[in-house]
């Protein structure tokens, strides 16, 4: 019997002539990319999508739809990606160009999962056209791009939101935030974030192996963990203590980094991050993503995608305190990011993801990547 490879599994529509490849956006605890789009609700805003190069775009769009957004248009340069997106969202009009969307006064928000080094330039144009922007992680690939985003965002007062979905679209991680805020484990001392992924080279587009375009492993995958570190330690200032990266086992693609780790220090706690591309085929999901939150009176562990002890599905949360060890069912936990983002677009607030926090997480990721020591391991 074939194994059920759930989660962020690649469903490909490869094209010889295009660089883009669509990946499944599904994560346990969020809407599956292979299901139909969520049913429309009464629209509070109209929004559009530009850049469909990563399948995370489906999760981004679905989040806004759940929050009261109406997807009215989209644009992609790649015909295969546009065709797949149109099939999933048949109500949305395929625009003839980015400009058609940018010049549409009814579009208040643009979402994007374009090639990573193209995200910040697009976001700058979106903000300059008076619209808000929600982008897949990483939100940019260089510190220079980050500086320009900060400058234009401050000038325009538009929203530049990065969907760190491992926190914002994972039910167990949302629940952990509620528990920590309620004092369930006392004061947070440290977070340990692990982001293992499966590598299937033949399912990846060419840009995935070009560091200038994807940004490096700490910029890309680890941006999730930097966000979680800041959030759970309640740090608003932080520094990278040490970082390292390596290409251990993929010598035929020398610009790929398949391992990286980081030590962090913030004004609210410390952190450790490890990310890699070594999920074995024996696991029934793309990666055993984990988060441990150490507190003064206990700890929380989240198994984001799988419980290898046997519980089905994802979003598994375990709490150990001074009284007991317990498992928390998170299957009914709401995912508020999309609704809060739509609120922010309407009310000019920052309830979904504070702007300073959003960009500080990327500053840490980009600094760790830039300053990382290159490991040489023979394996």
pLDDT, tens digit (0-9, with 9 covering 90-100), for 352-374: 999 999 999 999 999 999 999 99
Q: What is the pLDDT of residue 40?
A: 64
Neighbour tally for 274: CB within 10 Å: 16
CA distance 90 to 61: 13
Q: How far are the Cα atoms of 34, 78, 158, 203, 204 from residue 13, in angstroms, in the given order?
A: 14, 11, 34, 9, 11
Highest mean pLDDT among 29-43, 73-87, 196-210: 73-87
Neighbour tally for 137: CB within 10 Å: 27
Please state the rounded mean pLDDT for residues 299-326.
Answer: 95
Q: Tell me the percentage of the chain whose pLDDT exceeds 70.
A: 89
Residue 38 in this model has a pLDDT that exceeds 90: no
Strand order in the sheet with 132-136: 93-94, 69-75, 45-50, 107-112, 132-136, 160-163
Please state the rounded mean pLDDT for residues 139-146.
Answer: 98
Neighbour tally for 329: CB within 10 Å: 13
**CB-facing half-sphere around the CA of 111: CA atoms within 13 A:** 30
Give domain 167-335+367-374's CATH architecture.
Answer: 2-Layer Sandwich (3.30)
Please state the rounded mean pLDDT for residues 163-192.
Answer: 98
Digit-coded pLDDT (tens) for 39-52: 766 899 999 999 99
Please state the rounded mean pLDDT for residues 133-150.
Answer: 98
| Cβ 335 vs Cβ 99: under 8 Å | no
Q: What is the pLDDT of residue 327?
A: 97
Q: How confident is the model at residue 379 (pLDDT cuts 50, 70, 90)?
A: low
Burial class (CB in 10 A: 0-12, 13-18, 19+), 214: buried
Q: What is the pLDDT of residue 2?
A: 37
Neighbour tally for 349: CB within 10 Å: 12
Q: What is the pLDDT of residue 263?
A: 98
Q: What is the pLDDT of residue 7?
A: 38
Delimit the domains of the chain by residue range: 167-335+367-374
Q: What is the pLDDT of residue 36?
A: 59
């Amino acid at each position: 019997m074939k194994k059920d490879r759930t989660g962020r599994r690649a469903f490909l529509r490869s094209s010889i002539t295009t660089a883009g490849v669509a990946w499944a956006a599904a994560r346990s605890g969020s809407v599956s990319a292979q299901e139909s789009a969520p049913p429309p609700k009464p629209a509070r805003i109209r929004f559009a999508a530009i850049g469909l190069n990563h399948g995370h775009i489906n999760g981004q769009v679905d989040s806004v739809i759940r929050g009261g957004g109406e997807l009215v248009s989209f644009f992609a340069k790649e015909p295969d990606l546009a065709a797949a997106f149109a099939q999933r969202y048949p109500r949305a009009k395929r625009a003839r160009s980015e400009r058609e969307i940018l010049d549409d006064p009814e579009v208040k928000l643009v979402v994007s999962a374009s090639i990573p080094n193209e995200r910040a330039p697009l976001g700058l144009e979106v903000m300059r056209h008076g619209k808000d922007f929600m982008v897949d992680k990483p939100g940019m690939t260089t510190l220079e791009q980050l500086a320009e985003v900060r400058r234009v965002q401050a000038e325009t007062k538009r929203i530049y939101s990065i969907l760190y979905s491992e926190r914002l679209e994972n039910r167990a991680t949302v629940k952990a935030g509620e528990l920590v805020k309620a004092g369930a484990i006392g004061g947070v001392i440290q977070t340990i974030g692990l982001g293992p992924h499966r590598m299937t080279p033949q399912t990846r587009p060419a840009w995935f192996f070009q560091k200038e375009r994807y940004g490096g492993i700490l910029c890309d995958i680890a941006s999730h963990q930097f966000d979680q570190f800041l959030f759970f330690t309640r740090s608003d200032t932080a520094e990278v203590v040490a970082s390292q990266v390596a290409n251990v086992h993929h010598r035929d693609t020398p610009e790929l980094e398949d391992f990286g780790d980081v030590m962090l220090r913030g004004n609210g706690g410390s952190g450790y991050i490890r990310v890699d591309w070594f999920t074995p085929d024996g696991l029934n999901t793309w990666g055993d993503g984990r988060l441990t939150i150490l507190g003064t009176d206990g700890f929380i562990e989240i198994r984001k995608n799988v419980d290898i002890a046997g519980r089905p599905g994802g979003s598994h949360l375990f709490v150990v305190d001074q009284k007991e060890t317990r498992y928390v069912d998170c299957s009914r936990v709401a995912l508020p990011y999309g609704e809060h983002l739509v609120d922010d677009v309407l009310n000019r607030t920052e309830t979904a993801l504070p702007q300073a926090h959003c960009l500080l997480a990327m500053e840490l990721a980009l600094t760790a990547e830039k300053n990382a020591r290159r490991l040489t391991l023979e394996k």
